[in-house]
Structure 1
Amino acid sequence: MANKVVKATNEELQQVYNNIPKAYDRANRFISFNQDVRWRADLVKTILKFCERPKLVLDVAGGKGELSYTFKKIFKVNAKYEIILSDYAENMLKMALIEEDKVLCSFDALPFREKMFDVVMSSFALHAADNIEDVIREITRVSRKIVGFIAMGKPDSWIKRVYLSVYLRYIMPYIAALAGAKSRDFKYIYYIYERVPTNSFHKKIFEKYIDIKVYEERGLNLFYFVVGFPKG
Structure 2
Amino acid sequence: MPVPRQSASPQRRLLRDDAFTAIRAAIVDGTLQPEERLVDAELSEWLGVSRTPIREALARLDAAGLVRTRPGQYTIVSPLDTRAMTDAQGVAAAMHELAVRDAVPHMGPEHIAAMRSANERFDAALHDADVDAAIASDDAFHDVAVQLCANQAVRAVLDQYSPLLRRMERARFASSIGRDSVAQHTRMVDLAEAGNAEGAAREARLNWLALTWDSTRGD
The TM-score with structure 1 as length reference comes to 0.26
Structure of larger gyration radius: 2
Relative to total residues, which structure has the larger helix share, 1 or 2? Answer: 2
Name the one with the larger strand percent: 1
